[in-house]
């Protein structure tokens, strides 16, 4: 027991929890250290690929969107081409109040 | 309060002091950089406190050890998020308490089995009175406040000093002494009542 007592003797809690066992504590410390080390260990190639899979999917989606969007970035004088053209025609059919249409637009 | 600035005597499992007595902040910094020695020092330095704090919540030593294990693993996974490394102990104990409460709500806690002796204990008293004593102790601990239970387990079971308790629980040493005094008083009252009842029954 620790030395800085309050003038009262400690309550004996060993009937309930046993006496402190340094070896048991040592085994627990080793178990914890092993688990922590396992968490830090370099992962296998497959694990790393699996961890990066969501990022790869996100990037692929972003590239696809960026490749598709230029169809909208058309000059006011050049009719659009590509997969977005039909959608753009549809959107421009109702430009809203004060909206301007490019000169190539034919309602 | 020490706030982790005082280097506690580091005791290995064998009880021998470790050669390097670094502060929590230094050890956390080294552990962040991947030092397994620093990690192990932090684990060994705070393990008794973590087990006692978990025990104060779950009431069972095996479960408390599992909670402490999980809390340490979580803490070292999230070590980069520790904003005040000098208060590592307080941060760790918060996570221990949180995991212990989770364990209770998930119904995983196994309250101390009153019918079986703790590991390594030999029966010294007649079975009935030993069971009574265990029941009364368990009941007495249940009726303490959370901080009182933590302090009495840290001091009287795990043998921590008030300075160590103050650092672990982020309270002052004076407060630690007050909690211990109140906890012992309450436990003694319970044990005395139990003793009188037991004598009355055997008379």
Helical spans, DSSP H, in B106-172: 127-142, 146-152, 162-169
CA atoms within 13 A on the CB side of B87: 13
Spatial CB neighbours of B58, under 8 Å, sequence gap ≥ 6:
B64, B67, B100, B103, B104, B109, B110, B111
Domain extent listing, chain B: 24-202
Residues of B in contact with A8 (CB under 8 A): 181, 184
Residues in chain A with CB shorter than 8 Å from the CB of B122 are none
Rounded to a whole number, what is the largest CA-CA distance in chain B?
A: 66
CA-nearest of B183, B193, B123, B177 to B153 is B183
Residue from A11, A20, A22, A40 whose CB has the most chain B CBs within 10 Å, to mutate? A11
User: What is the rounded distance in angstroms from the CA atom of residue B92 to the CA atom of residue B49?
Assistant: 10
Question: What is the predicted ipTM?
Answer: 0.75
Quick one: B53 exposed, middle or buried, by C-beta within 10 A (0-12, 13-18, 19+)? Answer: buried
Tracing tokens 């139990």 back to the chain, one arrives at: B194
pLDDT tens, residue by residue, B84-140? 888 899 999 999 999 999 988 877 654 544 545 555 555 555 566 677 778 888 888
Please identify which residue in the block is written with the tokens 């421009």. Answer: A92
pLDDT tens sequence across B134-189: 888 888 898 899 999 999 999 999 989 999 999 999 999 999 999 999 999 999 88
Q: What is the SS3 assignment for B11?
A: strand
pLDDT band at B5 (very low <50, low <70, confident <90, very high): very low
pLDDT above 50 for B198 = yes
Residues of chain B neighbouring A3 (CB-CB closer than 8 A): 161
Question: Measured between alpha carbons, how far is B184 from A11 in angstroms, rounded to an integer?
Answer: 6
* DSSP secondary structure letters along B30-79: HHHTT-HHHHHHHHHHHHHHHHHHHHHHH--HHHHHHHHHHHHHHHHHTG
Interface of A with B (CB under 8 A): 1-4, 6, 8, 10-26, 28-29, 31-33, 35-37, 39-40
**pTM for the predicted model, two decimal places:** 0.65
């Amino acid at each position: 027991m620790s030395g800085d007592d309050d003038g009262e003797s400690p309550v004996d809690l060993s009937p309930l929890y046993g006496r402190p066992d340094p070896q048991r504590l040592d085994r627990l410390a080793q178990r914890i250290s092993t688990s922590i080390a396992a968490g830090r260990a370099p992962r296998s190639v497959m694990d790393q690929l699996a961890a990066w899979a969501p990022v790869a999917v996100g990037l692929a989606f972003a590239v696809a969107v960026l490749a598709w969007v230029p169809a909208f970035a058309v000059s006011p004088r050049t009719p659009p081409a590509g997969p977005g053209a039909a959608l753009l025609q549809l959107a421009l059919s109702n430009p809203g109040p004060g909206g301007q249409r490019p000169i190539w637009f034919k309602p | 309060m020490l706030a982790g600035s005082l280097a506690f005597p580091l005791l290995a499992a064998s009880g021998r002091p470790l050669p390097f007595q670094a502060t929590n902040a230094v050890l956390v910094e080294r552990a962040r950089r991947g030092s397994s020695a620093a990690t192990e020092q932090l684990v060994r330095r705070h393990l008794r406190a973590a087990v006692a704090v978990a025990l104060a919540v779950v009431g069972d030593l095996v479960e408390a050890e599992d909670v402490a294990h999980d809390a340490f693993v979580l803490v070292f996974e999230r070590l980069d998020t520790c904003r005040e490394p000098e208060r590592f102990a307080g941060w760790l104990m918060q996570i221990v308490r949180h995991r212990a409460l989770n364990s209770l709500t998930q119904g995983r806690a196994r309250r101390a089995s009153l019918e079986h002796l703790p590991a390594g204990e030999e029966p010294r008293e007649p079975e009935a009175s030993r069971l009574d004593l265990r029941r009364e102790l368990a009941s007495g601990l249940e009726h303490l406040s959370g901080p009182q239970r933590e302090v009495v387990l840290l001091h009287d079971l795990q043998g921590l000093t008030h300075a160590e308790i103050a650092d672990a629980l982020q309270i002052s040493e004076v407060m630690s002494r007050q909690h211990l005094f109140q906890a012992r008083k309450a436990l003694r009252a319970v044990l005395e009542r139990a003793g009188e009842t037991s004598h009355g029954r055997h008379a």
